[in-house]
Structure 1
Amino acid sequence: MGSLAAKITDSEAEIMRVLWEAGCELPIAEIRKILEENSNWETSTIKTLLRRLCEKGVVLAIKREVFYYKPLVSEAEFNEYSTQNLIDRLFAGSAKKLVASLVGSKKLNKSDIDELRNMFKVGDKDE
C-alpha cells in the first residue's frame, strides 16, 4: 500500500477525496460537478488526473454507458501513509517530536490535549 500512496500527488489527492467522500463509484460528470465548488479545473485536467490515478493502480475505471471511477486505496490507508511519511521526513521518525511540535506551536487547545491524554492511556485498567 505504501508504494501506491507514495505515488499520489496533491492534485490527485483532491480527486481521491471526492471519491472517498462519495463512498460509491462516480462518473466524471459527478466528479467534475463536485470539484467545481472548490477548484477551477477544466474537464481535461480532471480526465488527466483520473487517467494517471488509474495508471498508478489507485483508482479503477469501470466502463458502462460512461466510465465510473472508484478508489482502490482507502482514505485511512492514504492518511496513515501520509502521516508516517510526514513524521519520517520532518521529525526523523519520531511521533513524539510531532506531538511536541504541535503542543509547542499552540496548535492544540486544552480539549485536544485532554482527548490525546485519554488516547495515550492504552493498556490502563480503565480500557
Structure 2
Amino acid sequence: MKSLVSKITDSEVEVMRVLWEAGCELPIADIRKPLEKSSGWESSTIKTLLRRLCNKGVVLSTKRDVFYYKPLVSEAEYNEYTTQNLIDRLYDGSAKNLVASLLGRKKLDDADIEELRTLFKVGESNE
C-alpha cells in the first residue's frame, strides 16, 4: 500500500478526491464534470490522470457502456500515509515536534488547543 500511495501526484489526488467524495464507482462523465469546473482541465488530461492511477494500482476501471472508475485506496489510507511521511521528513518522525511547531507559530487557536486536549484525554481513557 505504501508504495502505491507514495506515487500519487498532486494532480492525481484531485481526481481521487472526486472518487472518494462519491463513495461509489463513477462513470467518466461524472468524474470529468467537477474537475473541468474546478481545474479547467481538458477531458484528455482527466483521462490521462485516470489511466495513470489505474496503472499505479490505486484505481480500478471497469468497461461497461463507458468506463467506470473506483478507488482502491481510501482517503483515510492516503491521509495516514501522507501525514506520517510529512512527520518523518520534516520532524524526524516526531508528532510532538509537529504539534510544538504549530503551537510555536500560533497556527492553533484556543479552540483547536482545547479540542486537542479533549482528544488526548479520550486517548488516555482508551488505554
Equivalent in the alignment of 2:84: 84
CA RMSD of aligned residues (A): 1.3
Q: Which runs of 4+ in 1 moved over 3 A?
A: none
Alignment of 1:1-127 (within 5 A): 1-121=1-121, 122-124=123-125
Q: Aligned letter for 1:123?
A: E
Q: Aligned letter for 2:114?
A: D
Q: Which structure 1 segments of 5+ residues have no match?
A: none
1:20-77 superposed Cα distances (whole Å, 9 cap, x missing partner): 0011111111111011221011111100000000000000001110000000000000
Q: Equivalent pairs: percent with the same residue? A: 75
How far does residue 79 in structure 1 lie from its aligned partner after superposition?
0.1
Structure 1 length-normalised TM: 0.95
Distance in 2, matches of 1:92 and 1:58, equals: 28
How many residue pairs end up in the alignment? 126
Structure 2 length-normalised TM: 0.95
Distance in 1, matches of 2:15 and 2:105, equals: 31
Q: Which structure 2 segments of 5+ residues have no match?
A: none
Q: Secondary structure at the match of 1:4?
A: helix
More helix by percentage: 2
